[in-house]
Structure 1
Amino acid sequence: MDPVIILGTGLAGYNLGKELRKLDQTLPLTFITADDGRNYSKPMLSTGFTKAKTADELAMQDAATMARQLNAEILTQTEVSAINPQEKQVTLNNGQHLSYSKLVLALGAAPIQIPLEGDTDKVLSVNDLEDYSRFREQLPEQARVVILGAGLIGCEFANDLGNGGHHVEVVANCDQVMPTLLPQKAAAAVQQALTEHGTTFHLQTSITAISDNDQALTVQLENGKSLTADLVLSAVGLRPRTALAEAAGLSTNLGITTDNTLQTSHPDIYALGDCAEVEGLNLQYVMPLMSCARALAKTLTGVETTVSYGPMPVMIKTPVCPVVVSPPAAGSQGEWIIDSDGLNIKALFQQGEQLLGYALTGNKVAEKQQLTRQLPALI
C-alpha cells in the first residue's frame, strides 16, 4: 500500500501525524521536508530572547526521534519539485518519484519580501528554526535592530528583543500597530507599552535603502530620517506557499483552496495549516491548525469528517501589554464599542446586541473566556 505523504514537518504536518497515530498505528506514513525536520513550536520563535533560548534549545525532538514516535519515514533536506495528481506521485529534487495513496500539503507560508535597495544581506526574516538560528548567530549583544513591520509578528519580536537587552526601532507604513487586528485605541495601548519598554516607532514611513558601512547599517527612511542598526528584521507578513499546488493544477486563491473536509480540487490531495484556505478562510494561527489536524486524521483513516471552526481568539505575545483578539469576520457590519482605562482596553465589535468580535488589552484579557462564549462560530 502506498503511504500517506505529508509535505511539511511544521506544526501542521507533525500534529496531523500525531492525530493519525491515535487512530491508526500502522498506516504507512511518509513526511517530506526541505529543512532538518526538528519538531518545535513555531510560536516560541518570538519568545526565544525572553527565555534566553538558542535554536537547539527550542527544538523538542530531532527528525530521527519523530520518525520513531510516529512510526513514519521522514525525508529531510528534501524538496518536492512537482506533484502529478493523475499518477498520484510526487517528484523529488533528485528526480526520484514517490507514489502516494493520499497527499497532504502542509507547506506553511513564506515571509513576504519587500524589495529594498542597497546592502540587504543583513535583512533577515524569522519564519522557522533555521531562520531563528541564523538571526541569533548574527546578532551581537545589545544590538540595534530595526524591525520592518508593525503587525503581530513585528510587535512580538519588538517585545522579545527588548527583553533580551537589544535596542529596537520599528518602521511601518501604517498609522497604528497591528492595523488588521486591533481597533485604534487597543493598538495605541500596545504601542504605548512597547514604547515605555524601549521600542521606538517610525510609522507612516518605509525603508528606502540600506547601506553597510562595515561597523553598522545605515537605514534610510522615506521621511528623510536615517537609522543605525546591526541587523534589520523583516516582519511584514506571510504569504501561503501555493506555487507547488498551482503548478499541479490545483485550485488556489490566497491559499490552496479546500472544502470543509480539507480536500483540495483533487480528491486525493488535502491541505491544512498556513498554506490552506478552508472554506474561504486562511487563518495562520495554532487553534485552527489543531482543529484541522483532528478532523483530517479521521478522514484519512476512513471516517470523512468536516472541520469546524468555533470562535478562535488569538493571544498576542506582548507581555508588556497582554493582548487577546478575536477579529470580526471580513465584511462584518457593526461598530466598535470601546471602554478604556489607560492600557486596559475592552473593545467589542457588535451588530446590534450580537457580539461579532473583540479586542482586549492589559487586565481586560481576563474577560476572554466570558466573551468568547458569546461569539458565533466561524465555520
Structure 2
Amino acid sequence: MQDRLVVVGNGMASLRFLERLTERAPDRYAVTVVGAEPVAAYNRVLLSSLLGGEVDEAACRFRGLDWYADHGITLVTGAPVTAIDRAERSIRVGEGLVLDYDKLVLAVGSVPIRLPKPGMDLPGVVAFRDLADVAAIRRNAVPGARAIVVGGGLLGLEAAVGLARRGVDTTLLHVMDRLMERQLDHAAAEVVKRAMEARGVRVLLEADTAAIEGDGRVEAVRLADGRVLPADLVVMSVGVRPSTALAAAAGLAIGRGIRVDDRMTTSDPAVFALGECAEHRGMTYGLVEPAYEQAEVLARHLCGEEAAYAGTALSTSLKVSGLPVFSAGAVDVPEGAEAVIWSDPAAGLYRKLVIAEDRLLGAVFVGDVAEQGWCKTLIRSGDRLARTDRDDLMFGRPAPQPLAA
C-alpha cells in the first residue's frame, strides 16, 4: 500500500519537491497536489517580463498537465484548502472535497503586504504577485495612464519597468533613501536608480505613502509630506509575509512562519512545510534558492535518506530590468573590515568587496557579475584570500595564455 501524500500549494517550491521526490521514489507515495490558483506551477520570476510583453504565459509554465499524469500525481487546481483536521489526518478543499493523508506538505508560500493606510481597498490598487495580478495591471495599464508603484525592492522595480514598457507614465515610490536597501549600498543603488530612469521610470526616494485617494476608484496617492500624485493605477509591492493562517488554525507551531526543524518537519510529525511559508531556526526566506534547497532535503527525507537543512547563506543574483545585479553577505562595512571599490557610473558598472582579516565578508556587483560564483564560495567557506584574489575578484581572472610553440 502506498502512503497518501498530499501537497498543499503548487508553486515553484512545491514543484521542485515533486520533481525530486519522483526522481528518487516514483512509486512510494500516492501523491495529490492542491493549488489555489487555476493553473499549474509557473515561473514567478518571469512575471515582470510577462507584464512588459517580453514573454507570454506559455513561456512562464514549467510542466504541462501531462507531466503530473505521467508521474501518477493527481493535480487539483483552482481549489483553496480551507481547513486541516490533524486528528483525522484530512484536509478540506473548498466547501465539500475532503482528502485524507498519511503525510502532508504545506508549500503555501506568502501573501503580499498592503500598507495599513486609507484607500488600499479602492479599485485600481493591485498587488504584483501572481498571474491574476498581472492580468489586473494590464487591464488598467493603457498607454497614457498614470501608474504609481509603491516599493523599491526587486518586484517593485520590475513592475515599474514593465509598466513603462507598456507606454504608461510610471512613478516609483520608495520610503527608504536608496533602492533595494537590503541588497545594495548607496553607490550601487544609485547606479540602479539611473538605469531605472533611463528606462522611463520616475523614482522618488524617502517618499512615505500616507493614503490612496479617489471617489469610487483610485485617483491619487497622497504622501506624508503633503504632495499629491495623480494616479489611475497603484501597484503595491512593499513585501510579503509567510502564509500561516491555515497552519495556525490547525494548531501547528507558528512564529513568523510555520516552524520546522532541519528535516522540514512541523510540530506535527506527519506535517511538513517548505518555501516562503516555513520558518527554520528563526529565519524565513523569500527567495527561490532556499526553497529549492529545502525541497531537496524534504524529498530525500521522505524517501528514507539522511538529509538535513542547515539554512541558506543569503545571496541575490538577478537582473533588474536587464541590468545584472549580485549581492551576497555584508552589504555595509562592519567595524574592523575594509571596502575595496571600483565604480564607473557612466558605464553602469560598480563592484565592492567587503574584506576582514583577508576573508571575504560580502560583495556587491552591478553591471558585470562574472565572479559571483567565486564570491559566494569564498563567503560561505570563510577561506583566506590568496595574494592575487583581490585583483581577480575585482577585475576578473586573466585569460589563460597559450602555450609557447
In structure 2, relative to structure 1, the CA distance for the partners of 1:14 and 1:24 (3 Å cut) is: same
Cα distance in 1 for partners of 2:235, 2:71 equals 35
Q: Which runs of 5+ in 2 are unaligned?
A: 383-405
Tell me if the contact between 2:333 and 2:354 (Cα under 8 Å) persists in the aligned partners.
Answer: no
Is contact 1:147-1:235 (8 Å) kept?
A: yes
Q: State how 1:1-379 maps to structure 2 within 5 Å.
A: 1-26=2-27, 27-55=29-57, 58-61=60-63, 64-118=65-119, 120-212=122-214, 217-309=219-311, 311-319=313-321, 321-328=323-330, 335=337, 337-339=339-341, 340-342=343-345, 343-363=348-368, 365-376=369-380
Compared CA separation, residues 214 and 6, structure 1 to 2 (3 A): closer
Rate the CA distance shift 1:376–1:239 in 2: closer, same or farther, 3 A.
same
CA contact (8 A) 2:151 2:174 kept: yes
Q: Tell me which amino acid in the other structure corresponds to 2:365.
A: L
Provide the rounded CA distance (Å) in 1 between the counterparts of 2:144 and 2:340.
38
State the secondary structure of the residue aligned to 1:190: helix
Say which SS state the counterpart of residue 86 (structure 1) adopts: coil
Structure 2 Cα separation of the partners of residues 338 and 148 of structure 1: 33
Q: Percent identity?
A: 29
Structure 1 position 125, deviation (Å)? 0.6
1:161-192: CA deviation from partner (whole Å, max 9, x where unpaired): 33343322111221111122222221121112
CA RMSD of aligned residues (A): 2.7
Give the C-alpha shift of residue 81 in structure 1. 2.0
Contact 1:83 1:248 (C-alpha < 8 Å) held by counterparts: yes
- Aligned-partner residue type, residue 223 of structure 1: D
Higher relative contact order (CA 8 A, sep 6+): 1
- Counterpart of 2:136, as a letter, is R
1:260–1:317 CA distance, 2 compared to 1 (3 A) = same
Tell me the equivalent position of 2:389. none
The runs of 5 or more residues in structure 1 that have no matched partner are none
Q: Tell me the CA shift for residue 103 of structure 1.
A: 0.7
**Is the Cα–Cα contact under 8 Å of residues 189 and 321 in structure 1 kept in the other structure?**
no
Q: Quick check: 1:111–1:235 contact (8 Å CA) kept in 2?
A: yes
Q: Which structure is larger by alpha-carbon Rg, 1 or 2?
A: 2
CA contact (8 A) 2:44 2:60 kept: no
Separation of aligned partners in 2, 1:61 and 1:371: 33
Task: Rate the CA distance shift 1:195–1:105 in 2: closer, same or farther, 3 A.
Answer: same
TM-score normalised by structure 2 residue count: 0.84
In structure 2, the CA distance between the partners of 1:158 and 1:101, relative to structure 1 (3 Å rule), is same
Q: Residue by residue, what CA displacement relative to the aligned partner does 1:181-213 show, whole Å, maximum 9, x if unpaired?
A: 222221121112212322112222222233346
- 1:336 shift after superposition: 6.2
Cα deviation 1:323-358 (Å, max 9, x = unaligned): 111144999876561512223222233343222222
TM-score, normalisation: structure 1: 0.90
Structure-1 residue corresponding to 2:387: none
